[in-house]
Structure formats: C-alpha cells, structure tokens
Amino acid sequence: MPYLKSLQEAVQPFTKTVGRDILAKNPKTLQLNITRKCNLACKHCHVACSPARSEDMEMRTAERAMQILKEWDFTTLDITGGAPEMSGVYRYLIDTAASMDKKIMSRSNLTIFNEDGYRDLPEFLKERKVEIVASLPFYEEVKTDKVRGIGVFHDSIEVLQRLCALGYGRDEELQLNLVYNPSGAMIPAGQDELEAIYRTKLKDEYDIDFNNLFSMTNSPIGRFGEWLDRSGNMDRYLTRLCDAFNPATVDELMCLDTLSVDYDGSVYDCDFNLALGMSIAGPHKTIFDIEKEDLIGRKIRTMNHCYTCTAGSGSS
Ligand code: SF4
Ligand code: SF4
C-alpha cells in the first residue's frame, strides 16, 4: 500500500489529536465482510472489490459467526462485502440470524438485484424483514455513473422502485436506508439538508421512498487512497479532515461496539482497519480463537484514516 506513507505524514497522528486511548465497549454489532466479489468496481471502493475477485467466506466460518452471534448476545448482524449477495453463505447467514430474531442489515449496491441469479432477493429479504442499506452516490445520473460506472444510476432507480413496490421505505418493518458518498476529495455537506433534497428528488421524479440517508465521508484508503496519493491530493484531503476534527464524535465511533470479521474469519475493529489489514490488538486474531472477554476494553487500533470518522458530524 504505497499511499500509507503519505497518509501518515500528511497531518499530525490521529492519536495525538484525540489525546487518549479509545477503548471498546460491550460488542453489539457483528459485521461480516463475507466476500470481495462485486459486480461493480467503484473508484472509491476501500476494499478494492470487483468482478475479478473471488474471495468468499467458507461455510465453517459462517457457522462459527452464527454461533458467536447467538452466544455473545450481539443485537445486530451487519452483512457487507463486496456485493454480499454474491457470497455462497449469504442466504444461510440471513436465514440463521432471522431464526434468532436478530436485527439484520444487508449492504447493497442495488444493481446486483438486476443480475441473473439474484432477481428474487428483494422478496427473500422482505420475508425476513432485513434492513437494506443501499449505496446511491447521488440523486443524479451523471454524478452516480461517474463514481460507479455507466448505467448504474438507471439500474439503481429501477431496483429502488421494485423495493418500494414491495413496501421497502414505506412499511415500518421494511427499512430502506440510502448511503451518499461525495464523488471526490471533499467532506459531505450536512446530512439533514442532503436527505431532504434526496427525498424530494427521488419522490418527485421516480416515486421512490426511503427511511434515512447516511452521508459517508470517503476513507483515504484502498482505490481512493491510491488516487489521492497518485494525484497529489492526499495532503489537502487529510488536512481538510483533520481541520474538521470534532471531539464529540469520538464517543460515538462505530468501532466502540462493533466487531468486524473478514471472509476468512480474521477480526478487526472496523471495516476500514480490515481493508488495511490492521487486526485487533491482542494475541487472538480470528473468530475461532477469540473470546468475548478479549473484546471488551481493548484498545482500538487507530491511524490517520480515522480522521474520516471524526470529521464534522462524524461518519462510519
Ligand atoms: S464500493 Fe461497493 S459496489 Fe462499489 S466495488 Fe466496492 S463493494 Fe462493489
Ligand atoms: S476508521 Fe473509524 S471506525 Fe475504524 S478504528 Fe478508526 S475511528 Fe474507529
């Protein structure tokens, strides 16, 4: 990862800015990054997924994940990837977690629901009341296609209309949340204002309803980190993030009560640390050897990419 040097040197170390250790609490959310396969290859992807990747969670790892979901009393299963729908264990995980009455969130790029073999998934997810967290980089075609590829906006709108027709975004039990990412090296505008604009545009032009819009700052790692480094924008971007540091966000960080597990069972404080290969502190590194007690009070491993989560009103 050649961009790591410029990431670390661009601004003062994150730990110095925070001024204290960040310690994990009781874990509540089990986040599983089950595959690197994806039908898209977005410019900002921090885990560098694409159709060329083949890494996928094995069934024995999925079974162990479901064992700890139950025994460690997690409240929420958060399934991500890649396009998690493309994983061989996706339906098993959702069926198992649904049988335990856990809250289930599934991240989606939406377009996968238009591909052969996945068209029935909206109904599958509806029956199990799975919350869909869907990326829609912008409410206009040009900007979305610039980030995700030609035709992605059109496909995403078509899928959102299908989801709404099933009751997503309309029925209280069928939550549909959208995710916004800026298309370049900038910090997103206020979430509430943006949500109001998305709501009006999507309703008026496409009759689409949704519950919430999450505004995400792009993390300076993965493909986006490489681009920042290559184009000489790393310093400027990190300075912006660092200048926008908001101490109030530190007690709300996602990593405080989340355990992030990779497709191979290795464990991380969050999906960004996973992408960097920064496994959790302590001797135990996989869901096969770690115990719940190892997680509580552990020191979260931070680096300058963490400024992404503390800029403005926060983002994780
Ligand atoms: S950002 Fe999401 S949709 Fe895009 S390549 Fe990465 S995993 Fe796939
Ligand atoms: S990137 Fe964000 S969520 Fe991950 S360890 Fe840093 S502050 Fe926590």
Residue 266 lies in a domain: yes
Residue 88 lies in a domain: yes
pLDDT (tens place) for every residue of the chain, 316 residues total: 788 888 988 899 999 999 999 999 999 999 999 999 999 988 777 788 999 999 999 999 999 999 999 999 899 999 999 999 999 999 999 999 999 999 999 999 999 999 999 999 999 999 999 999 999 988 899 888 887 889 999 999 999 999 999 999 999 999 999 998 887 788 887 788 999 999 999 999 999 999 999 988 889 998 889 999 999 999 999 999 999 999 999 999 999 999 999 999 999 999 999 999 999 998 888 999 999 999 999 999 999 999 999 998 776 5
- Helix, strand, coil share of the chain (percent; to 5): 40, 15, 45
Nearest to 31 by CA among 209, 288, 250, 266: 266
Determine the atom of ligand 1 nearest the C-alpha atom of 82.
7
Rg (CA), the chain: 19
Report which protein residue has its CA nearest ligand 2's atom 4. Answer: 270
Ligand 1 pocket test: which of 34, 37, 43, 109 has the largest number of ligand atoms within 8 Å of its C-beta?
109
**Torsion angle in degrees (nearest 10) through CA of 121, 195, 140, 183:** -90
Residues with CB under 6 A from ligand 2: 253-255, 269-270, 272-273, 300, 302, 305-306, 309, 316
Residue 308 lies in a domain: no
Q: Which two tokens stand for residue 187?
A: 């910090």
Beginning with the edge strand found earlier in the chain, give each strand of the sheet holding 176-180 in spatial order.
212-215, 176-180, 131-135, 103-108, 76-80, 29-33, 258-261, 267-268
What's the rounded Cα separation, in Å, for the pair 244 and 250?
A: 13
Q: Do the Cβ atoms of 147 and 111 come closer than 8 Å? A: no
Q: Do the Cβ atoms of 153 and 144 come closer than 8 Å? A: yes
Ligand nearest to the CA of 302: 2
CA of residue 8 to ligand 2 center, whole Å: 15
Domain span at residue 230 reads: 26-234+252-298
Report which protein residue has its CA nearest ligand 2's atom 7. Answer: 306
**Each residue of 70-83: b (16+ CB within 10 Å) or e?**
eebebebbbbbbbb
Q: Do the Cβ atoms of 267 and 300 come closer than 8 Å? A: no
What's the rounded Cα separation, in Å, for the pair 160 and 202?
A: 10
Given CA atoms 72, 75, 79, 80 in this order, what sign does their dihedral have? negative
CATH number of the domain where residue 120 is located? 3.20.20.70
| pLDDT for position 144 | 85
Determine the atom of ligand 2 nearest the C-alpha atom of 219.
1
Residue 124 lies in a domain: yes
Q: Cβ contacts of residue 10 below 8 Å, gap of 6+?
A: 234, 235, 237, 238, 239, 242, 304
Q: Cβ contacts of residue 142 below 8 Å, gap of 6+?
A: none
What's the rounded Cα separation, in Å, for the pair 224 and 234?
A: 10
As for how many domains the chain has, the answer is 1
Q: Which two tokens stand for residue 262?
A: 């990779």
What's the rounded Cα separation, in Å, for the pair 221 and 232?
A: 14
CA of residue 255 to ligand 2 center, whole Å: 6
Residue 281 lies in a domain: yes
Q: Which two tokens stand for residue 228?
A: 């920042």
Determine the atom of ligand 1 nearest the C-alpha atom of 50.
5
| pLDDT for position 68 | 97
Determine the atom of ligand 2 nearest the C-alpha atom of 258.
3
